[in-house]
Amino acid sequence: MPKYPPVSALFTDFYELTMAAGYFANDLTGAATFSVSVRPSDRKRGYYVAAGLEDVLDILANFAFTPADLEFLRSTGSFSPAFLSFLADLRFTGDVVAMPEGTLFFPGEPFLEITAPIIEAQLLETVVLNTVGFQTMIATKAARCVHAAQGHPLVDFSLRRTQARDAGMKAARSTWLAGFMGTSNVLAGKTLGIPITGTMAHSFVTAFDSEREAFMAYARLFPDATVLLIDTYDLIRGAENAVQVARYLQENGHRLIGVRLDSGDMITGSHQVREVLDRAGFAEVKIYASSGFDEYKIAELLRAGALIDAFGVGTKVGVSADAPFLDIVYKLARYGDRDVKKFSPGKISLAGRKQVFRNLNAAGRPVADIIGTRREAFADAVALLEPVMRAGHVLGPSPTLADIRIRCGQNIAELDVEFKSLQHPADFPIRISDRLSTLQRDQSSSNPE
Amino acid sequence: MPKYPPVSALFTDFYELTMAAGYFANDLTGAATFSVSVRPSDRKRGYYVAAGLEDVLDILANFAFTPADLEFLRSTGSFSPAFLSFLADLRFTGDVVAMPEGTLFFPGEPFLEITAPIIEAQLLETVVLNTVGFQTMIATKAARCVHAAQGHPLVDFSLRRTQARDAGMKAARSTWLAGFMGTSNVLAGKTLGIPITGTMAHSFVTAFDSEREAFMAYARLFPDATVLLIDTYDLIRGAENAVQVARYLQENGHRLIGVRLDSGDMITGSHQVREVLDRAGFAEVKIYASSGFDEYKIAELLRAGALIDAFGVGTKVGVSADAPFLDIVYKLARYGDRDVKKFSPGKISLAGRKQVFRNLNAAGRPVADIIGTRREAFADAVALLEPVMRAGHVLGPSPTLADIRIRCGQNIAELDVEFKSLQHPADFPIRISDRLSTLQRDQSSSNPE
C-alpha cells in the first residue's frame, strides 16, 4: 500500500466540472488564486494545527483524468468533445504557498493558497478541502488533548469508530503529529512508521474460562509487553488477579507494564486499583485508562486527582465529536488581474493574494498575526506561507512526520496559555495590513450588473 | 477504480493481533460468535438504518495477509514464526447472518453476527465496526432528513467536508440508499451509479466581470440544466438577473430549471425570490436551497413556510454532526459451547447467538421486536437476520443499491410516526425472549477466578 493511495480526478463535486466547462467555453483561462481558511465565525477552537499538506501536494502532482474517467463524463451527456479532449491532457501546473504542517494558525487566516489556471484550481477545490479539512481538524483536536494531558502519554485508539477507513488512517497520522505517543492502527504503523500499541480487549478475557487464566496466557506470551484489562467482571478482583500476574512475571525476570481501566468511575477506580498494586509492592505498574476520552474529560480527571498514567483516546478525538467538521472554505481571491470577493451574508471573503505574518516578542513567542498582501514585510514578524509547489512541481521533499511533530510541539509550547484554554480561549490578535485593507475597498467594482 | 478498494488485513487494532497470538499459543481454536449492535444507551436516534453489509462481505471474502504485511508484523518483534506462518494461510472461513441493508433496527438489537474460528473473528472486529458503523450512521441521518423533507427532493453535497475520502464515497451511497435523489460526488456516480447533480459556485460568478455575464455563460452552455446561484452579491438583483436568463432560455426553446439560495434568511429570501420569479411569469422555476441543512433545519424551514422546492444537504449530514459517532460494539456472545458476556458497568452485553423477530400487525406495520435465540420462531413475526455468508463464501449476489433503497423506503413508510419523531421518538417496544433470558442467567459461571 503506497503512503498515499491514488485519488481519482472524479473525486470532485459535479459543479466543479460544469463550471470548468463554462470557463472553457468562455475562454476564461487566466490564473486564479484560491485561499483556504477556516471561517472566522468558527469559534469552537482558539487555534488550529495545519495538517494534510503532504497529501494535498501528492494529489496535485498526480492529478489527471483517466480514459475511463473521460468515458464516464462523456456518458453524462453534459460535456463537449472539445472540453473532454482538453481534460484528457490536463495536469496541475500551478503554484502553491502553504503553512508547513504542524504550524498553528487562527480563524480567518489563509493557510494554503493555490494559484493556477482557473479550470485547474476550480476542479481541485473539493479534494483539497476534503484533504486538509479533516486532518487539520483532528490535529487540532489532538493538540488540545496533549495540552490537557500535561505530559501524560496519549495513544490513538480511534480506528474502529472513525468515519470510515481513510479517516482512520489520517486520524493516526494527525494525532501522532500533534504529539500522541502512538496508535493502535497497525496499517498506520506499516505505512507511516507510527509506533503501534495495544494489548487486549474484553473478548480475550471472556474467551478463556477465567480472567486469571486469560491474564496468565497473555503474560506468558508477551512477558515484557503486558497491559491487563481488569474491568471485565470486577475491577478490584481484576486488580488482584493482575498482582498475581505481576508476581509471576517478576519471579521470571520480567515486569508487568500496566493495567487498563475501560469503564466506571475512573477517579475512585484508579485510586482503588493503585492501592491494590502499591500494597502488593507494584508501585511501578502503570494505570492506563480508556473510555470516551477527549480533552475535556482528560482535564477533568487530572484535576480531580485520578491516578491515571496514560490515556487511550478513541472515538471522540477520531471524529472530533464536539466539533465534527471544520468550517473550511476555498475562496476565489483573485482572477486574472482582478482581486475578487463575495458579499453573501455572513460569508464575506478577503480578496487578493495573501501572506500571514506572525509577530514574535523578544522571547520568540507569538504576540499577534497580520494578514497582509503577498509581498509585504514587517519587522519582527515571520511569513508563515511558504512556496511548496511551483508550475506543478513540488519544491523539495516534504518534512518528515517526526519533524512536523516537533514543529507542532514547539508551536504549541510557544503559544501563551490564555490562547490554549479548552473552553474559553482568548482571541489571538489578528489585524489586516493597511495594504490588504485598501485592496478590499478597491475591488468593489465587482457587481451583479 | 473498483467498487470496493482492497482493504489491508493490517487495517486493524494492534491488540486484535496480540490477542490472536494469545489464542493461537493457547490452542483456542473454537468457533466464536460476535454480535454487532448499537448500545442501548445511544438515545440520539429512534431507529437506525442498516448499511455497509455489501462492503463488509467483500472485506471478509478477500481477507488475507500479504507477504509485506507479514514482514511488517515480523519486524515488530511481537510474534512467533509459527504464528506468522499461520497468518500467511489465514482466510475467513466463517458464517455471517445480517439484516439486509436498508432494514430499520433499534438500539440493543444485533444487526450482524459473525461466527468463525475465534482468531478470524477477532482480527476482523476493527474493520467490521469501522465499515458498518459509519454507513449505518449516515443512512440513519439521511433517512431522518428524507422524513423531515416531506417529499421535497434532497441531494448530497457533503463531499468537501466529509471526514476524509472514504467517508465521502460512503456518504454518497448511504444518503442515496436512504432516499436522497442524487449526489454532487462524481466518483460515486461513476462507481456506484448514483445520479450526479450540481451547477455553480460563487467562484464561477465572481470569475466573470458581472453576475449576469456568468449566468448567461452558464445558460448558453447548459440550456436544459441550469440552476443559478443568486446570492453572491444581492439576492433580489440575483433573482432579477435570473429572470433575464429565464427569458433568454424561453425565447430559445429551453427553460431555466431553478435558482439556488446559499445564505441568509431562507424564509424571507425564498418568498422574495418566489415573488420576483412568479411576477415575471416563471412560476415553474424551482427554488433550491443549501446552507448547513440537516433534518432539524429542513423541518423548521418547511414548518415556517419557506418556499423551497429542493434541498442541497451537505456537511451536517455527511458527518452526522449532532451525533458524529455510533456507539457500536462487537461483543463476544459465544465461544465454543459456552455463551459469554461481560459485566463492566454500563456495558453489559447479551450472551448467545441471537435472532431478531419483528412482529407485524394485520396491516403489515411493525409493532414490536423480540430479541431471541437463533432457532426460535414466533407467530406473526419475521426473522430479520438472514444468512449472507457460509464457510467464508458469500451466499448469492448482494441486492442492488436500487433494491436496498426501496427496502429502506418501505421500512420507513411502515414505521409509525411516533417512532420517527426527530427530537423525541417513542421507544420502539423490544423484549427479550424467555429462552434468551434463561440463557443469560445460565452463563453466569464466567467469572474472574
Task: Name the DSSP letter for residue B161.
Answer: G
Of the residues B291, B318, B345, the one at which a domain ends: B318
- Residue B345 and residue B283 in one domain: no
Residues B258-314 have pLDDT tens digits of: 999 999 999 999 999 999 999 999 999 999 999 899 999 999 999 999 999 999 999
Kind and range of the H or E run holding A431: strand A430-432
Task: State the pLDDT at residue B350.
Answer: 87
Mean pLDDT score across all residues of chain A: 94
A6: in domain:
no
Task: State the pLDDT at residue B445.
Answer: 45
B85 touching A, CB under 8 A? no
B236: in domain:
yes
Nearest to B332 among A189, A190, A203 (CB): A203
Kind and range of the H or E run holding B192: helix B186-192
Residues facing residue B98 across a β-bridge: B112, B386
Which grid cell is A68? 475511463
Kind and range of the H or E run holding A105: strand A104-105
Helix (H, G, I), strand (E, B) or coil at A207: helix
What is the CA angle A161-A165-A169, rounded to 5?
95
CB atoms within 10 A of CB B71: 12
Amino acid at A366: P
B19: in domain:
yes
Residues A93-116 have pLDDT tens digits of: 999 999 999 999 999 999 999 999
Residues B174-223 have pLDDT tens digits of: 999 999 999 999 999 999 999 999 989 999 999 999 999 999 999 999 99
Cell numbers 483539497 correspond to A128
The CA R_g of chain A, rounded to the nearest whole Å, is 26
Mean pLDDT of B57-82: 98
CB atoms within 10 A of CB B262: 21
Mean pLDDT of A245-251: 98
pLDDT band at A5 (very low <50, low <70, confident <90, very high): confident
Of the residues A287, A318, A349, the one at which a domain ends: A318
Tell me which chain B residues have a C-beta less than 8 angstroms from the C-beta of A68: 190
- Residue B57 and residue B30 in one domain: yes
Of the residues A269, A296, A318, the one at which a domain ends: A318
Tell me which chain A residues have a C-beta less than 8 angstroms from the C-beta of B127: 165
**Cβ neighbours of residue A439 under 8 Å, at least 6 residues apart?**
A339, A351, A352, A373
The CA R_g of chain B, rounded to the nearest whole Å, is 26
A186 touching B, CB under 8 A? yes
What is the CA angle B188-B189-B194, rounded to 5?
95
Taking the C-alpha atoms of B193, B198, B199 and B201 in order, what is their torsion angle to the nearest 10 degrees?
Answer: -140
pLDDT band at B40 (very low <50, low <70, confident <90, very high): confident
- Tell if the CB–CB gap between B189 and A76 is shorter than 8 Å: yes
CB atoms within 10 A of CB B360: 14
Task: State the pLDDT at residue A4.
Answer: 79
Cell numbers 424571507 correspond to B268
Tell me which chain B residues have a C-beta less than 8 angstroms from the C-beta of A263: 344-347
CA pair distance B96, A104, nearest whole angstrom: 47
CA pair distance A262, A292, nearest whole angstrom: 9
Nearest to B233 among A125, A199, A447 (CB): A447
Q: Is residue A59 scored above 80 in pLDDT?
A: yes
pLDDT band at A181 (very low <50, low <70, confident <90, very high): very high
Task: Name the DSSP letter for residue A160.
Answer: G
- Tell if the CB–CB gap between B134 and A164 is shorter than 8 Å: yes
Nearest chain B alpha carbon to A321: B324
Tell me which chain B residues have a C-beta less than 8 angstroms from the C-beta of A330: 160, 203
- Residue B269 and residue B344 in one domain: no
Q: Is residue A360 scored above 70 in pLDDT?
A: yes
Task: State the pLDDT at residue B345.
Answer: 60
Tell me which chain B residues have a C-beta less than 8 angstroms from the C-beta of A71: none
The count of domains in chain B is 2
- Whether pTM > 0.80 for this model: the answer is yes
Which grid cell is A441? 475597498
Which grid cell is A281? 509492592
- Residue A134 and residue A164 in one domain: no
Pairing of strands A95-98, A354-360: unpaired
| CB B320, CB B313: distance < 8 Å | no
Q: Is residue B349 scored above 80 in pLDDT?
A: no
Q: Where are the alpha helices (DSSP H) in A89-182?
A: 118-123, 125-149, 165-177
- Residue A134 and residue A148 in one domain: no
Nearest Cα neighbor of A74 from B193, B190, B284, B271 is B190
A134 touching B, CB under 8 A? yes
Task: State the pLDDT at residue B343.
Answer: 62
**Cβ neighbours of residue A36 under 8 Å, at least 6 residues apart?**
A110, A111, A112, A113, A114, A128, A129, A132, A328, A329, A330
- Residue A154 and residue A275 in one domain: yes
A412: in domain:
yes
**Cβ neighbours of residue B215 under 8 Å, at least 6 residues apart?**
B205, B228, B241, B242, B244, B245
CA pair distance B170, B175, nearest whole angstrom: 8
Pairing of strands B154-156, B310-313: parallel
Amino acid at B220: R
CA pair distance B195, A252, nearest whole angstrom: 65
Tell me which chain B residues have a C-beta less than 8 angstroms from the C-beta of A335: 206-207
CA pair distance B153, B149, nearest whole angstrom: 7
Mean pLDDT of B335-347: 76
Question: Strand runs (DSSP E) across B284-353, as ranges?
Answer: 286-290, 310-313, 328-335, 338-339
Amino acid at A413: A
Nearest chain A alpha carbon to B204: A19
Tell me which chain A residues have a C-beta less than 8 angstroms from the C-beta of B8: 1, 187, 190
- Tell if the CB–CB gap between B263 and A344 is shorter than 8 Å: yes
Nearest chain A CA: its distance from B363 CA (Å) = 38
Residues facing residue B321 across a β-bridge: none
Task: State the pLDDT at residue A349.
Answer: 75
> If contacts are CB pairs under 8 Å, which of residues 217-236 in chain B contact chain A?
217-218, 220-222, 225, 231-234
Nearest Cα neighbor of B260 from B205, B195, B311 is B311
- Residue A258 and residue A286 in one domain: yes
B32 touching A, CB under 8 A? yes
Look up the domain containing B248 and give its range: 147-318
Max alpha carbon distance in chain B (Å)?
86
Interface test with B, best of A1, A12, A15, A76 (most B CBs within 10 A): A15
Task: Name the DSSP letter for residue B76.
Answer: T
Task: State the pLDDT at residue A341.
Answer: 73
**Cα of B237 vs its chain's centroid, Å:** 40
- Residue A289 and residue A159 in one domain: yes
Pairing of strands B258-261, B354-360: unpaired
Residues facing residue A228 across a β-bridge: A259
CA pair distance B337, B353, nearest whole angstrom: 11
**Cβ neighbours of residue A156 under 8 Å, at least 6 residues apart?**
A142, A171, A172, A175, A176, A180, A182, A183, A184, A185, A313, A314, A317, A318
Task: Name the DSSP letter for residue A379.
Answer: T
- Residue B227 and residue B342 in one domain: no
CA pair distance A128, A36, nearest whole angstrom: 9
A116: in domain:
yes
Nearest to A165 among B7, B204, B346 (CB): B7
Q: Is residue B403 scored above 80 in pLDDT?
A: yes
A256: in domain:
yes
Nearest to B204 among A19, A135, A341 (CB): A19
Among the residue ranges A347-351, A383-387, B199-203, the one predicted with the least confidence is A347-351
Interface test with A, best of B8, B12, B13, B288 (most A CBs within 10 A): B13
A347 touching B, CB under 8 A? yes
Mean pLDDT of A372-385: 94
DSSP assignment of A305-353 equals T---SEEEE-HHHHTTTTS-S--EEEEEEEETTEE-----TT-----S-
Q: Where are the alpha helices (DSSP H) in A64-117?
A: 67-75, 81-88
CA pair distance B31, B320, nearest whole angstrom: 36
B267: in domain:
yes
Across the beta sheet with A310-313, the strand order is A182-183, A154-156, A310-313, A286-290, A258-261, A227-229
- Tell if the CB–CB gap between B206 and A345 is shorter than 8 Å: no
> If contacts are CB pairs under 8 Å, which of residues 392-421 in chain A contact chain B?
none
Nearest Cα neighbor of B309 from B227, B246, B249 is B227
Number of C-alpha atoms within 13 angstroms, CB side, residue B351?
A: 23
Residue B285's CATH number: 3.20.20.70
- Residue A30 and residue A104 in one domain: yes
Task: State the pLDDT at residue B120.
Answer: 98
Residues A122-153 have pLDDT tens digits of: 999 999 999 999 999 999 999 999 999 999 99
SS3 content of chain A, % helix, strand, coil (to 5): 40, 20, 40
Amino acid at A192: L
- Residue B121 and residue B167 in one domain: no
Task: State the pLDDT at residue A298.
Answer: 98
Give the end-to-end CA distance of chain A in Å, rounded to a whole number.
52
Residue A125's CATH number: 3.20.140.10
Nearest chain B alpha carbon to A75: B190
Residues A284-339 have pLDDT tens digits of: 999 999 989 999 999 999 999 999 999 999 999 999 999 999 999 999 999 999 98
B211 touching A, CB under 8 A? yes
A73: in domain:
yes
Nearest 5°: phi and psi at B373?
-80, 170
Mean pLDDT score across all residues of chain B: 94
Residues facing residue A371 across a β-bridge: A356, A432
| CB B52, CB B136: distance < 8 Å | yes
Nearest chain A CA: its distance from B321 CA (Å) = 6
**Cα of A273 vs its chain's centroid, Å:** 34
Kind and range of the H or E run holding A411: helix A401-414
- Residue A66 and residue A21 in one domain: yes
Nearest 5°: phi and psi at A158?
-85, -10
